Chains A and B, each alone.
Chain A
Amino acid sequence: MGDFDFDVIQRSIGYLFREGMTFTLTLTALAAGGGIILGTLLAMMRLSSYKWLSVPATAYVNLIRSIPLLLVIFWFYFLVPYIGAWIIGSPTPIRVGAFASSVITFTLFEAAYYSEIMRAGIQSISRGQISAGYAIGLNYWQTMASVVLPQAFRNMVPILLTQTIILFQDTSLVYVLSITDFLGAASKVAQRDGRLVEMYIFAALVYFLISFGLSQVVKRLQQKIAIVR
């Protein structure tokens, strides 16, 4: 430990946070936002009484949840250019940047996990409330938007945030696509300067502090909500 080089961290800290952490946080925020919206729609589809809505949604969620994130990252990395070409009718696969590809991947992947949370949230609202919504003349979308979802969302905020912390940690896996996220940046500096020990310990420390801090916030929030009930 005697030759632990703090200087390499000091030299690269600007690069690590400006390039790497910005990417990691942007990806986390976009995927969490998109994932929660898409996940809520998937949950509503799964709970629908129409088979043609519930069956594909269930199949999608179960499929995504049974394969590893890394495999999903590889799938979409190669699939998205073909789907893009199919949508715009181009004969050759279109070029999709690493950033767009990883946002699409994480949004679609996390949607499956968020949908399970939102499904539990929607199911935690008593049926009487939905009936009451219909009774005062609201249609399905109005009942969902102004009666069910606000409460379901509120009940599930701690779990949604916990899942977002997991998402934040999972974004480190874009490393396999050689993208400069926080870990990717740390790894590049580590390889360049031959300082693996310092850089990886520093990366672990930063991930730990952010995740731990957020999880303490979630704990507080949980206690607050528990008191209200």
Chain B
Amino acid sequence: MNYNWNWKVFWDMAADGTGTWGMTLFYGVLWSLAAALCAGIIAFVLGSVLGVMRTTPNKWAVRIGNAYVELFRNIPLLVQLFLWFFVLPELLPKGVGDAIKQMPPPWASFVPAVIGLGLFTAARISEQVKAGIQSLPRGQLFAGTALGLTLPQTYRFVLLPMAYRIILPPLTSETMNLIKNTSVALTIGLLELTAAARSLQEFTFQVFEAFTAATLIYILVNLCVVMFMRWLEKSVAVPGFIGPAAVGGAH
């Protein structure tokens, strides 16, 4: 096999002339993480709202929540990003659409990527939140109401604090999915980690060094997420209630 290994390529000047290829990859990670963080915030807030809506006694809230989840889960993420990137500016009034299209380079693809990833992930988080709330005994809701709390108060002080603790492990894997999914944004021109590795490969032909580096970085990021979530799980655990180990055995 005649492949020329050249691990020093990361210290060579990158094609854009502003730094080394190593720096290109580093900025790639930063863009991946920035997109994941912004999308994560949207997904967490919207997903929580939708998840709560789907457990309320209000029929219309349940219907709207269910419709949202079905819509966003059954269209491929790539197609969703295309809709936000190519289609949305055309459907808006001409002035607004043109303003979106003329945003300076990273933002023109970063903003649609964040919106698309955020709304896509929100559907998945809402499933987790709903499952978390429904896994609590019915008595908790009744006890809250019996204490004289209103329904929003019961959610705020009784149901949600326990539900979030229960769903921390699935939220960990959703977070990792979200970080992995940011790579899809390369199709609308965001220079995140996979795109950075790809441009390194295209300009230097060092295919395997580029992808090995990207793979190792993804694994490292995943490990950090897992460790952070484990720490979070431990630090918010309610003594005597749900330990990280007891979650699997609880049902």
- What's the minimum C-beta distance from B134 to chain A, rounded to whole angstroms? 16
- What's the minimum C-beta distance from B184 to chain A, rounded to whole angstroms? 6
Interfacial residues of chain B within 58-92, with CB under 8 A of chain A in the complex: 70-71, 73-80, 82-83, 86-87, 90-91
Q: Which residues of A contact B194 (CB under 8 A)?
A: 68, 70-71, 74
Q: How far does the alpha carbon of A79 sit from the alpha carbon of B211 in the complex, in Å?
A: 10
Given contacts A66-B222, A68-B181, A70-B183, contact A204 B197 (CB under 8 A): no
Say if the beta carbon of B186 comes within 8 Å of chain A.
yes
Q: Do residues B74 and A68 form an inter-chain contact, with CB atoms below 8 A?
A: no
Query: Measuring CB to CB, which residues of chain A are less than 8 angstroms from any residue of chain B?
Result: 1, 63, 66-71, 74-75, 78-79, 82, 85-86, 91-92, 165, 169-170, 172-173, 175-176, 183, 187, 190, 196-197, 200-201, 203-204, 207-208, 211-212, 215
Q: Do residues A207 and B75 form an inter-chain contact, with CB atoms below 8 A?
A: yes
Given contacts A66-B222, A91-B2, A208-B71, contact A203 B79 (CB under 8 A): yes
Query: Of the candidates A91, A204, A212, which one forms a contact with B83 in the assembled complex, judged by CB atoms under 8 Å apart?
Result: A204
Q: Do residues A201 and B83 form an inter-chain contact, with CB atoms below 8 A?
A: yes
Q: Do residues A86 and B211 form an inter-chain contact, with CB atoms below 8 A?
A: no
Say if the beta carbon of B187 comes within 8 Å of chain A.
yes
- What's the minimum C-beta distance from A192 to chain B, rounded to whole angstroms? 14
Q: A92-B2, A173-B76, A208-B74 are in contact. List 13 more A-B contacts (CB 8 A).
A: A66-B176, A66-B218, A66-B219, A71-B197, A78-B208, A79-B208, A91-B1, A172-B79, A173-B184, A190-B86, A200-B83, A207-B76, A215-B73
Q: Which residues of B contact A71 (CB under 8 A)?
A: 183, 194, 197, 211, 214-215, 218
Given contacts A1-B91, A67-B219, A200-B87, contact A175 B80 (CB under 8 A): no
Residue of A whose beta carbon sits closest to that of B183: A68
Instruction: Show 11 A/B contacts (Cβ-Cβ < 8 Å), sorted by A.
Output: A66-B222, A68-B180, A69-B183, A70-B186, A71-B215, A74-B201, A78-B211, A173-B184, A197-B86, A200-B86, A212-B74
Say if the beta carbon of B54 comes within 8 Å of chain A.
no
Say if the beta carbon of B198 comes within 8 Å of chain A.
yes
Say if the beta carbon of B241 comes within 8 Å of chain A.
no
Interface of A is mostly: helix
Q: Which residues of B contact A75 (CB under 8 A)?
A: 211, 215
A-B interface contact total, Cβ < 8 Å: 108
Q: Which residues of B contact A82 (CB under 8 A)?
A: 1, 3
Interface size on B, residues (CB 8 A): 39
Q: Which residues of B contact A175 (CB under 8 A)?
A: 78, 187
Residue of B87, B176, B186 with highest tally of chain A CB at under 10 A: B87
Query: Of the candidates A63, A173, A200, A208, which one forms a contact with B82 in the assembled complex, judged by CB atoms under 8 Å apart?
Result: A200
Residue of A whose beta carbon sits closest to that of B198: A74
Q: How far does the alpha carbon of A172 sit from the alpha carbon of B184 in the complex, in Å?
A: 11
Q: How far does the alpha carbon of A75 sit from the alpha carbon of B201 in the complex, in Å?
A: 11
Q: How far does the alpha carbon of A101 sit from the alpha carbon of B134 in the complex, in Å?
A: 44
Q: How far does the alpha carbon of A33 sit from the alpha carbon of B184 in the complex, in Å?
A: 25
Q: How far does the alpha carbon of A196 sit from the alpha carbon of B83 in the complex, in Å?
A: 9
Q: How far does the alpha carbon of A12 sit from the alpha carbon of B169 in the complex, in Å?
A: 46
Q: How far does the alpha carbon of A67 sit from the alpha carbon of B3 in the complex, in Å?
A: 24
Q: Which residues of B contact A187 (CB under 8 A)?
A: 82
Q: How far does the alpha carbon of A86 sit from the alpha carbon of B187 in the complex, in Å?
A: 32
Q: Which residues of A contact B3 (CB under 8 A)?
A: 82
Say if the beta carbon of B207 comes within 8 Å of chain A.
yes
Given contacts A67-B215, A74-B194, A85-B1, contact A197 B180 (CB under 8 A): no
Q: Do residues B74 and A197 form an inter-chain contact, with CB atoms below 8 A?
A: no
Q: Do residues B90 and A196 form an inter-chain contact, with CB atoms below 8 A?
A: yes
Q: Do residues A169 and B76 form an inter-chain contact, with CB atoms below 8 A?
A: yes
Q: Which residues of B contact A190 (CB under 8 A)?
A: 86
Query: Of the candidates B74, B78, B207, which one forms a contact with A172 in the assembled complex, judged by CB atoms under 8 Å apart?
Result: B78
Residue of B183, B201, B208 with highest tally of chain A CB at under 10 A: B183
Q: Do residues A197 and B1 form an inter-chain contact, with CB atoms below 8 A?
A: no
- What's the minimum C-beta distance from B169 to chain A, rounded to whole angstroms? 14
Residue of A whose beta carbon sits closest to that of B218: A67
Q: Which residues of B contact A165 (CB under 8 A)?
A: 74
Residue of A whose beta carbon sits closest to that of B185: A70
Q: Which residues of A contact B219 (CB under 8 A)?
A: 63, 66-67
- What's the minimum C-beta distance from A222 to chain B, rounded to whole angstroms? 15
- What's the minimum C-beta distance from A220 to chain B, rounded to whole angstroms? 15
